[in-house]
Amino acid sequence: MATLRRATVCFTFRNMIVMFLCVSLVCLPFYSSAKRNDRPIIGVLAQEVYSPKPNQTAYIAASYVKFLESAGARVVPVMINQTLEEYKTLFNSINGILYPGGGVSIISSGYERAAKIFYELAIEANNRGDYFPVWGTCLGFEQLTYLTSGKTVLSYTNTSGVPLPLDFTNETKDSRMFKGFPPELMKDLASEPLTENSHKWSLALLTYNTNEELKKFYKVLSTNTDGKTEFVSTVEAYDYPIYGTQWHPEKNAFEWTRPYIPHTPSAIKTTFYMAEFFVNEARKNFHSFESEEGERKALIYNYNPVYTGHQSGFEQIYFF
């Protein structure tokens, strides 16, 4: 009797495994290809180098590339000074774009020109249901404030090289960005200095509160202060997959040359959960390159990063 019962249990269990295998083999690939792009490719915008040399006129810090790669995306560099047609073709080939931090002008640079073109293409695409996410970090966030408001709206703050805890707003818990974060990490983000700030310019909370364009476009998820000015440190757009952080999620895991970059286990998790969030956004986009060859030629794998950690704030840089 006991043996029989065990046989029945085993049989049922085996049936379940067989059924599960059938579901995985038949249904899951179909499901995922219909709802999700598991081969996302994200553009990272280049910018002018401060003192150009032959073959080194633009750059991307490698930490932005590693940031996205760590969460399952491949990266394509978005070069500056391309034609509008070239940018449109690239826009229709990639699944999202990241505007990195840096030091160029947000009102007149090759970086600004490309950022504006992709921002406008993203707004247009999202309006017709073509989900295209945009991320701005530090300068990239400042660039977004300019693109959304059409004005320079930044204030000086004493925030060059300080790690800070986030002052979360009451909007955070309903945000898309932080929804998937473990509660423990949210607690650490709110109480430990896990977010590295390297900027002299900030969107003052007062400016945000009095600027209609910014206020209706972005939901503020966190703020910070330098002791004098309270500024906006994390945003997500209400109606678009557009995100910005004044701080640097990519540095914690990948940059080591500055003593104020946090590397605690929670700091590294912060890098990863932010990357995972944005890469998941890109998995909702289905743009693709016209050919495999075109895709191969565009990928950042065609370029070699240079070790610069002995002389710069970046361990490795891609020069173009």
27 labelled catalytic: no
Q: How far apart are CA 72 and CA 86, in angstroms?
A: 26
Shortest reach from residue 84's CB to ligand NAG, in Å: 14
Max Cα distance, the chain (Å): 84
Note whether 108 binds ligand NAG by CB under 6 A.
no
110 makes contact with ligand NAG (CB under 6 A): yes
Among 65, 80, 134, 237, binds ligand NAG (CB under 6 A): 80
* 10 is known as an active-site residue: no
Among positions 3, 51, 55, 83, the unique one binding ligand NAG when judged by CB under 6 A = 55
Beta bridge partners of 98: 44, 135
- State the catalytic residue, choosing from 10, 22, 138, 310: 138
Beta-carbon contacts of 199 under 8 Å, excluding residues fewer than 6 positions away, are 101, 138, 139, 142, 157, 159, 160, 246
End-to-end CA distance of the chain: give it in Å, rounded.
Answer: 75
Q: Which of 37, 57, 257, 308 binds ligand NAG (CB under 6 A)?
A: 57
CB of 37 to ligand NAG, least distance (A): 31
Q: 131 to 170, contacts with ligand NAG by CB under 6 A? A: 158, 162, 170
Instruction: Please write down the HEC assignment for all residues of 95-162.
Output: CCEEECCCCCCCCCCHHHHHHHHHHHHHHHHHHCCCCCCEEEECHHHHHHHHHHHCCCCCEEEEEEEE
Given the residues 22, 27, 199, 248, the one annotated as active site: 248
Q: Which residues in this chain contact ligand NAG in the complex, by CB under 6 A? A: 48, 54-55, 57-58, 80-81, 110, 158, 162, 170-171
- Residues taking part in catalysis: 138, 248
